[in-house]
Structure 1
Amino acid sequence: MKLLYSWNVNGIRAAAKKGLFEWLHATNADIICLQETKAHPEQLGPEFTEPEGYTAYWASAQRKGYSGVCIYSKEKPIRVDTMDVERFDAEGRVLRAEYPGFTLFNCYFPNSQAEGARLDYKLDFCQTLQAMASEVVAQGQHVVICGDYNVAHKPIDLENPKSNEKNPGYLPEERAWMDTFIEAGFVDTFREFNTEEKQYSWWSYRFSARDRNIGWRIDYHCVDEGLKPRLKDARIHQDVFGSDHCPVSLTLED
């Protein structure tokens, strides 16, 4: 089995003070993907850059304290790249790691922001990433696309869908892209195992939203249709704290 975790930590240094690395080692996961690290590796100590048992890979934003993704991996990938697209790499949006059984995309999708201020950028990112993943699949390989998608796909995926229809993360254009993505042959792994309501991975810091479980499911592991037979489990870990998001996990048969 191969166990993968994904977690938007909302600042890796802040998360470390709240037990990030104690949690990381307790999971014994094969691969841990973090988003919104808000750090460059040269700013960090060895506990961040060389955690015992793992090799770390980084994509950081040019702007300090913003965005960024990281992969901690027990097995060294065959190759690790960014998107090689300047407008996205400048914000540290993606790490692409090739393993023997699949290519992993660790992604921090842009937020479309109030009144859709960055919606065009967000959709450009979504479409570019989808094209890259589809190209890998067309070459006969499998893909795992994990991270903070900043999209709640269906009404079941957030607490108040009607009142959020004009809010970033649930705009019609974002949900339409997610429809297109699924229709193109990508699988929302969590919904293969759990179709219940109130399964959220992000909560606002305001109004005691997490205590009341008024949240959104915006963190995903998606895979190509061909990888579906290897799915063994997918979970949201709402009992793990340290960020406004909680981790999500995927278990694959080797």
Structure 2
Amino acid sequence: MAASRDDISPPPIKRRKMSNNGPPARETSDVQLDHLSIYSWNVNGIEPLVQRPITSFFEPRGSIHGSNSSAPSTGLRDVLRRYSWPTLLFLQEVKIAPGNDSTMKAVEKAIQPDIDEPPGAPLYKAFCCLPKDNYNARGFGRKVYGVCSIIRQGFFDAHVERVREVDWDLEGRFLVCETKAIGSLPKLAIVNLYAVNGTDAPYKDPDTGKPFGTRHDRKLQVHKLLQAECQALLSKSFQIVLAGDFNVARAPIDGHPNLRTCPKQHCINRADFEARFIHRGTALGDDSEGAEKRGDGDDRDGGESLGMVDSFRHLHGDKAAYTYHPRGKGFGMSCDRVDMILTSASLRDHLAEAGIHETPADRGPSDHVPLYITLLSH
């Protein structure tokens, strides 16, 4: 059954201008790019988005947005179309087993234009980072974790220097897209991330398999490593965008009906995240006094906080909105905002939009919904 008009959140504003002579041929360059739209979505397994037919949740291709239909279709190409052809679509928890070439080929095929699309439909490239850890990523036939960055071909050709992994993670959790300066935007390092979920389960040495603390310990270690990665990028004149599932909700407003505080380790993880990435004169207000009272200021191992901007909070203040809606409960009954897009404070004036597509229809086969930002390049 198709979602009604009221059940589907609208896409952000669409600024891309068309030629006076009609749609251009398939794009090969975004030289006149005036904005970047960055989407992030924990899909909880990519296979439903690359296999057809499946029970779907989007409107049929070619329909007017918001119309009802009994035969909607979905897939990666439909997702890209639905959200007005974003510059970058970051997917987390894709659950592709290492060496699964058939699924990788299916991803490539699923983002290509359909034969019935009109000229001018954007082309895309896909990059995946999958687990290599033989001890911490073995469950479910190794179909765990993994991220995939889908990037517009024209943008990639004109503005992207490289897409790379990080050398301190083997679980398939990070992809860094490094760009040239774009208009008034400086060089960017746009990071697709799927942060560690802190639990009491053991974390094993990736080389020996010997237990080496817990997943909580690993989460804190990854916070430190990611902070250091960002600091190294800043030293090379990159500004940072972190987009993905952080597996942490920042404040009481980000958890419904309440914020998770038990066991206490979740509070420790949250304070560590805040201290390393958010506090110290951010766009949310200078919270250095509060950080000092909590003991999570600049004396924390790792150096001074990055002072990043939580894009959604910056533009929407105390509005309650959530990205994670677990299965088994009614939509909205228990939910958290654990997916975020953070930016360097210097990008604040470029931030035109930030939003969450918070409907059951937008969730689709996942237990998360997509979120996005728009950065102006002029």
Same fold per TM (> 0.5)? yes
Equivalent residue letter for 1:244: D
1:120-131 pair list within 5 angstroms: 120-131=217-228
What do the CA deviations read for 1:1-53 (whole angstroms, capped 9, x no partner)? Answer: 11010000000003444424212222210100000000146131644124221
Q: 1:45 to 1:149 in 2, by over 3 A?
A: closer
The structure having more radius of gyration, on CA atoms, is 2
Q: 1:245 to 1:114 in 2, by over 3 A?
A: farther
Partner of 1:65: 143
1:195 corresponds to 2:290: no
**1:158 alignment partner, one of 232, 235, 255:** 255
Q: Secondary structure at the match of 2:320?
A: coil
Q: Which has the higher strand share?
A: 1
Q: 1:121 to 1:138 in 2, by over 3 A?
A: same
Equivalent residue letter for 2:102: Q
**1:118 alignment partner, one of 208, 215, 220:** 215
Q: Is the 8 A contact 1:58 1:69 kept in 2?
A: yes
Q: TM-score, normalised by structure 1?
A: 0.90
Structure 1 residue 217 displacement after superposition: 0.0
Q: 1:196 to 1:214 in 2, by over 3 A?
A: farther
Task: Return 5+ residue gaps in structure 1 as ranges.
Answer: none
Partner of 1:251: 374
- Runs of 4+, deviation exceeding 3 Å: 15-18, 114-117
What do the CA deviations read for 1:110-153 (whole angstroms, capped 9, x no partner)? Answer: 11025894110001011100111122123322110110000001
What do the CA deviations read for 1:163-221 (whole angstroms, capped 9, x no partner)? Answer: x20159x811121122211122211111011123430000111222x2x3420000011
Q: Pairwise CA RMSD of aligned residues?
A: 2.0
Query: Percent identical across equivalent pairs?
Result: 28
Equivalent residue letter for 1:6: S
Q: Secondary structure at the match of 2:256?
A: coil
- Between 1:63-72 and 1:11-20, the stretch displaced more is 11-20
Task: Return 5+ residue gaps in structure 2 as ranges.
Answer: 1-34, 57-73, 113-122, 133-137, 181-186, 203-213, 280-304
1:23 corresponds to 2:57: no
Partner of 1:48: 107
Q: Is the 8 A contact 1:198 1:213 kept in 2?
A: no
Partner of 2:164: 81
Q: How many residue pairs align between the two structures?
A: 247
1:221-240 pair list within 5 angstroms: 221-239=341-359, 240=362
Task: Determine the C-alpha separation between the residues in 2 that align with 1:187 and 1:131.
Answer: 17
